[in-house]
Amino acid sequence: MNLEQELAHYFGFKTFHPGQKAIIEHALKGDAVLGVLPTGSGKSLCYQLPGLVMHRLTVIVSPLISLMQDQVIQLRQQGQSKVVALNSTVRKAEQTYILQHVKDFDFLFVSPETLGRSDVLLALKQISIGLFVIDEAHCISQWGVDFRPSYLQLRHYRQILKPYSTLMLTATATPKVQADILDKLGLIKQAVRIITNVDRPNIFLDTVKVADDEQRQQLLQTIIKHITWPGIIYFSSRQAAEEVALQLQQTLHIPTAFYHGALSNRDRQLIQQRFMTNQIPIICATNAFGMGINKKNIRFVIHYHAPSSFESYLQEFGRAGRDGKQSIAITFITPADAGLQANLLASGLPSTSMIQMFYNEPRLFAHTDDQALELLRDFYSSGLEMTQVQQMLTAKYQEKQAALTEFQRYLSAATCKRQLLSDYFGQKAVHSHDDTCCCLGQDEAVLTTLKKLNLYQRDSTQQPRSLQKAIETPKVVHWQQTLKQLFE
Amino acid sequence: MDKIDLLSFFNQQPQRIKPIFYVLIGKRTISNLLAGRRNHYLNYFRAAPTLAQTTFNRTADVLIQEALITETAPENYILTVKGKQYWQDKRAYVYRLKKYDGLFVPDLDVIDQLLGLAVQVTSNFVHGQTHYIPVSNAWLVQRRVQHWFRHYKRNPDFAQQFMTELAFWLAQLPTAQANADYMAATFQGYQVGWSDLALTDMFGLTPLSQHFMRLDNLTNLVQLLKQKQQALPMIYMLLKQAIYTPNPISISAQKTWLLFGQGYPLSRIAARRHLKPSTIREHLLEVALLNDQFDFKRLISQDDLPASAYFTERMKSIQEME
């Protein structure tokens, strides 16, 4: 089989990205493969192509519903119609239909919790599964900051389903996490590891020190005025994302939207759509935005608040420059950030008393939508005892704290940032430091950096034409006029 | 949930807070149904199935803290003078359901998704746009719309025809709170579509009220399709499988009622159905609440079970509400 021909046939590409071909070849041979590929390097293609070539069902375990939905949309847009997601948001009637017709699909995206249901396992056991994919495989590792207890059951499910081959994919896994992934899945001896470099040479790594929030806001406005669009600005709080989006829109008159987990599905879809079609050039978002966003021409990612780990940083800035063109990742640092991040670490984790209350009467917490309780429910449904959960959460907190400290060291370091990033993931830096690599320490003149990288625009009229849109002011129009806009 | 949304459920009649939440999310117990019927909000059944309990409780706490409602008996609250004033000042932000009755409507969410996707697909088709994020990811919804679209797209006037049918429906909607303008503004198509936040600014309704207005509009559409389907052939074709209205009485309660109708005493029904006598009584309460054909007189002659104050009291309340 000529894989390049298949690639051109199904996806219209001529060549593979580094690591893709090797992973696909192993998957087609029936091996278990761990693939570590950076964000934006085409991880999804590693299961999409073998899935299509094998003509057997590919089951993809995915941790987030939004990620599943994005991947389903992407595959359907590529012309694959037999793609479906099965998770708690899918209506009961539809779930029944999917399970009754599961053999007719090419790709089934499923959450680990749904996969563990007896009816789901039973339906899948009766058909021949070609490829079993564990996406975001680092979620299985207790050493990883994104540990998901429900992922621990995947070893058992894999044994029940007996797939032809198994693919574990992640963008962020240190050697310790890689070993843990394979250990937890019982594949430490037989699995092949394909590790590609996390480096994204076309993204300039920049950090900017600001005294306080006021200075940060002013500098952000200056940057947005002159940087090449489109781009994403990441925040650690929903409120800040909303406030800054509004501010940019009012002061700079640039269509700007905010995006976070509290938005309705309808709004999320609408904002993604507008960003993808260049109607909105700037998005102010929390980390809820981005997974599965496959917009090639994002020129910048700004971290208004610094992320809390290398893993998050890599995932988020990796959304820039997927077309291979020069892009930039700017991270603001203020003296207050360290404390803020430390507080945020604790806020998403349940306290000891909350764990005890939950374990005494889990039913009482069935209707609550708190993030910490959601995590507890995940632990509880994985069959873990209270003491185990307490130990694991303590370890998770310590792990997160260590990751934060390590990342803060990176932000304030005066050496090559690309080198530090590669070191953290246990890799060798591919390129030696030069002018397009990073800011070495702190950037004192961001606009000069933008000019140097050819990402500077004198004003908004110099921005790409497709992005020059006027802000739409919401006003009620007669329904007949709306219908005409829609259909004429 | 805004505090004015919850405040709109209160008046001078003392009532418990929790049943409001359970009716809104569609939790079907006799006590919730009874509270909903007694306090005139049973039509809100399942009107907000995704409402989080924490959000609801937080809103209820604010109403109490701000003295907009007050406790007159344990767990029973009424509107205060301050609450009444607040309601007068803010009532324009609230939409109260007029058409929708949650126990007697089909699954409006599916109808909403089918219609929204059909509008999006047609609008983008008309403008030659092939790449967009669908408003619904549900497999069955996408499949249904795909079939519908394939069926009609060969007709060069199909978009115009679809628009005419939508216009026929929107023209029937009440004008007092701009129902039709709102409904049209929620559609998403080629370079058309507003966020929820923008819709709030435009129409001055709370997000929950917008949702209620949507339910009313869709209920109107379902009724229209049942009465005048020939005027809306394309929309009927799209939604015909989704407009079936299920019986509000549970299947098990229907079986009990059938035997009751045949004259069996309650003890015999329980024995025949291998159910506890208390379950049989729950079924009869359900039927009495949801079906106005229920014969209360007949109950006296057929009830041979040991007396139950719980049952008698509730049955009496239902009878008084008739």
**Tens digit of pLDDT for each residue in A283-318?**
999 988 876 577 889 999 999 999 988 888 988 999
Is B192–A370 a contact, with Cβ atoms under 8 angstroms apart? no
- How does residue B322 score in pLDDT terms, banded at 50, 70 and 90? low
Which tens digits make up the pLDDT trace of B2-33?
Answer: 999 999 999 989 999 999 999 999 998 888 99
Residue A279 near chain B (CB below 8 Å)? yes
Specify which of A40-44, A264-268, B60-64 reaches the highest per-range mean pLDDT: B60-64
At a CB cut-off of 8 Å and minimum separation 6, what does B23 contact?
A: B32, B33, B35, B36, B41, B42, B44, B45, B102
Query: In this structure, what are the phi and psi dihedrals at residue B70, rounded to the nearest 5 degrees?
Result: -140, 155
Tokens of A84: 């479906």
**A367 neighbourhood in chain B, CB within 8 Å:** 52-54
**A479 neighbourhood in chain B, CB within 8 Å:** 167, 170, 180-181, 183-185
Q: What is the mean pLDDT of residues A345-366?
A: 80
- How does residue A155 score in pLDDT terms, banded at 50, 70 and 90? very high
CB A235 within 8 A of CB A241: yes
Residues B66 and B40 in one domain: yes
Residues B285 and B223 in one domain: no
pLDDT of A392 > 70? The answer is: yes
pLDDT of B46 > 90? The answer is: yes
Asked if residue B156 is part of any domain, the answer here is: yes
Our CA dihedral for A142, A147, A152, A155, rounded to 10 degrees, sits at: -90
Picking from B23, B57, B91, the residue at the C-terminal end of a domain is: B91
What is the model's pLDDT at position A481?
A: 95
Distance CA A392, CA A107 (A): 33
Residue A97 near chain B (CB below 8 Å)? yes
Residues B220 and B266 in one domain: no
pLDDT of B146 > 70? The answer is: yes
User: Which domains does chain A possess?
Assistant: 3-195 (3.40.50.300), 200-488 (3.40.50.300)
- How does residue B78 score in pLDDT terms, banded at 50, 70 and 90? very high
Q: What percent of chain A has pLDDT over 70?
A: 97
The amino acid sitting at A181 is I
For B143-174, the DSSP string reads HHHHHHHHHHTTSTTHHHHHHHHHHHHHTTS-
What is the model's pLDDT at position A367?
A: 62
Is B138–A480 a contact, with Cβ atoms under 8 angstroms apart? no
Q: What is the mean pLDDT of residues B149-166?
A: 94
Is B187–A482 a contact, with Cβ atoms under 8 angstroms apart? yes
pLDDT of B81 > 80? The answer is: yes
Q: Is the peptide bond before A230 cis (omega within 30 degrees of 0)?
A: yes
- What average pLDDT does the structure give for chain A? 88
- What average pLDDT does the structure give for chain B? 92
Supply the range of the domain harboring residue B177: 108-239
Asked if residue B300 is part of any domain, the answer here is: yes
pLDDT of B216 > 70? The answer is: yes
Lowest mean pLDDT among A117-126, A383-392, A438-447: A383-392
Lowest mean pLDDT among A214-228, A460-474, B267-281: A460-474
Q: How far is CA B159 from CA A192, A460, B224, in A?
A: 54, 37, 20
Which tens digits make up the pLDDT trace of A47-85?
Answer: 999 999 999 999 999 988 878 888 888 888 888 889 999
Picking from B60, B91, B122, the residue at the C-terminal end of a domain is: B91
**A485 neighbourhood in chain B, CB within 8 Å:** 189, 191-192
What is the model's pLDDT at position B145?
A: 96
What is the model's pLDDT at position A369?
A: 64
Is A487–B132 a contact, with Cβ atoms under 8 angstroms apart? no
Distance CA A318, CA A90 (A): 30
Asked if residue B102 is part of any domain, the answer here is: no
Selection from B137, B115, B134 nearest residue B237 by Cα:
B115
Q: How far is CA A326 from CA A291, A434, A448, B101, in A?
A: 21, 14, 15, 57
DSSP percent split of chain A into helix, strand, coil, nearest 5: 50, 15, 40
**Most A CBs within 10 Å, among B56, B117, B135, B139, to test the A interface:** B139
Residues B139 and B229 in one domain: yes
What is the model's pLDDT at position B42?
A: 93
- What is the count of structural domains for chain B? 3
Q: What is the mean pLDDT of residues A333-349?
A: 78
Selection from B99, B103, B86, B148 nearest residue B122 by Cα:
B148
